[in-house]
Amino acid sequence: MPWNKEMPANPVVAVAGATGVVGREMLKVLEQRDFPASKVKALASARSAGTTLPFKGGELTVEEMTPESFEGVDIALFSAGAGVSRQFRQAVVDAGCVMIDNSSAFRQEKDVPLVVPEVNAHDLAWHSGVIANPNCSTIEMVVPLKALADAAGGIKRIVVSTYQAASGAGMKAMNELYNQTKQFLAGEPLTIEAFSDQIAFNVIPHIDVPVEDDYYKEEWKMVVETKKIFGDDSIEVAPTCVRVPVLRCHAESVNVEFNGPISPEKAKEVLAATEGVTLEDDCANLVYPMPGLKQGTDDVYVGRVRIDRTVENGLAMWFVMDQIRKGAALNAVQIAERLLP
Ligand code: 25A
Ligand code: L14
């Protein structure tokens, strides 16, 4: 059923999973963008109840999340994992609260819009209480590609390899990269818990669980989420997702075959004028974006724009994005902003 509850101008907002890497960033983004909330609640598991998180010069006391937590709440930003999102969905919607969910739980459901505001804000019109925030690697890819697709008659095929930061797997994964690096340098045995393999001084060509045809689920998400966000099932995506020893910010090497012609010069002109994109591209002077240096930024940074002569209408590019911000927290808050009257 389509949602028919009006959004107040000053909604009550809950952050579910507030103590995680993404939840903390959600609080930061709400504060930095001066989101007009009348009240913000920080929710997490019982383990964190009673601890405090900084917010607007003061602090929020973390409450244990229960089905009753959502009474009187207008917008809930969820980033506590897919299982927790499934468990609380009904209670949230029954309370008349819109759920903006960062997990992978509902992204493929027919009545759940999957939204990147720069690309398909129009899909917010038909939500029925739940809006999904896409996978971070997919968001990073579609923001610049939407603008280029519009300029080149659409996209036929994308070949993408990701270079994903440790923080994509949460706080304990970030700590593991840090600690393993120290252990490696001290010649000590490495503690391997958060990842399947050593991450310090290594790269791992595996993210999430195996699905079909020997792909991993992170790769599958990039295929199906790109089609859903663009509203175009004909776009082919061939991804390889790789974990690299970077703390924060995902990078992507992207080769695109467009339906119509577009020169690298034209592409750069379009990208330089695109909201949410910053072009950093000067080959001769070694100017290109790098993930180790983009922490805390909001845009998708694009460099290395050049012709791909192996196909007709081909371009090759390099993208960098802080996946905790635009890939998760910022995109969710931008969706919330679009729900305001
Ligand atoms: O959808 P998926 O595929 O299932 O993936 C979603 C998960 O991936 C992260 C995010 O992890 C999310 O949980 N994620 C998603 N998108 C991301 C992106 N683009 C992304 N990461 C990076 N980029 P997270 O670490 O950011 O957040 C975890 C939060 O969830 C809370 N939580 C867990 N169970 C809950 C719950 N909240 C309410 N009810 C529940 N039942 C969790 O809160 C955290 O806020 P917490 O209180 O459980 O954890 C507080 C502290 O404890 C550490 N911790 C977590 N697990 C353990 C732990 N410590 C010891 N043992 C553990 N098993 C946390 O690091 C935190 O400091
Ligand atoms: O589907 O880098 O949103 O581990 C976000 C974090 C997928 C994995 C999602 C990572 C997850 C990703």
Tell me whether residue 7 is in a domain: no
Residue closest by Cα to atom 9 of ligand 2: 135
Please report the pLDDT score of residue 1 as a whole number.
Answer: 78
Please report the pLDDT score of residue 190 as a whole number.
Answer: 98
Query: Does residue 256 share a domain with residue 109?
Result: no
CATH of residue 172:
3.30.360.10
Please report the pLDDT score of residue 247 as a whole number.
Answer: 97
* Distance in Å, CA 79 to ligand 1 centroid: 7
Please report the pLDDT score of residue 193 as a whole number.
Answer: 98
Query: Does residue 171 share a domain with residue 312?
Result: yes
* Distance in Å, CA 215 to ligand 1 centroid: 25
- Give the tens place of pLDDT for each residue, 266-287: 999 999 999 999 999 999 999 9
Query: Does residue 124 share a domain with residue 148?
Result: no
Query: Does residue 148 share a domain with residue 60?
Result: no
Query: Does residue 202 share a domain with residue 94?
Result: no
Give me the domain span that covers residue 191: 138-323
Tell me whether residue 207 is in a domain: yes
As annotated, the active-site residues are: 136, 250
Query: CA-to-CA distance for 257 and 93, rounded, in angstroms?
Result: 41
Please report the pLDDT score of residue 11 as a whole number.
Answer: 98
221 lines ligand 2 (CB under 6 A): yes
Query: Does residue 78 share a domain with residue 102?
Result: yes
Tell me whether residue 201 is in a domain: yes
Tell me whether residue 38 is in a domain: yes
Residue closest by Cα to atom 1 of ligand 1: 103
Query: Does residue 75 share a domain with residue 53?
Result: yes
* Distance in Å, CA 324 to ligand 2 centroid: 10
DSSP secondary structure of 128-146: SSEEEPPPHHHHHHHHHHH
Query: Does residue 205 share a domain with residue 96?
Result: no
pTM: 0.94
255 lines ligand 1 (CB under 6 A): no
In the three-class reduction of DSSP (H, G, I as helix; E, B as strand; rest coil), residue 256 is classed as strand
As for how many domains the chain has, the answer is 2
The C-alpha torsion from 242 through 243 and 248 to 253, rounded to 10°, is -20
Query: Does residue 270 share a domain with residue 152?
Result: yes
Q: Give the phi and the psi of residue 224 in degrees, each rounded to 5.
A: -75, -35
Per-residue pLDDT of the chain (341 residues), as tens digits, is 789 999 999 999 999 999 999 999 999 999 999 999 999 999 999 999 999 999 999 999 999 999 999 999 999 999 999 999 999 999 999 999 999 999 999 999 999 999 999 999 999 999 999 999 999 999 999 999 999 999 999 999 999 999 999 999 999 999 999 999 999 999 999 999 999 999 999 999 999 999 999 999 999 999 999 999 999 999 999 999 999 999 999 999 999 999 999 999 999 999 999 999 999 999 999 999 999 999 999 999 999 999 999 999 999 999 999 999 999 999 999 999 999 99
Please report the pLDDT score of residue 2 as a whole number.
Answer: 87
15 lines ligand 1 (CB under 6 A): no
Tell me whether residue 107 is in a domain: yes
Burial annotation 173-198 (CB, 10 A radius, 16+ → b, else e): bbbbbebbbebeeeeeebeeebbeeb
Tell me whether residue 212 is in a domain: yes
Tell me whether residue 1 is in a domain: no
Burial annotation 222-232 (CB, 10 A radius, 16+ → b, else e): bbbbbbbbbee
CATH of residue 106:
3.40.50.720
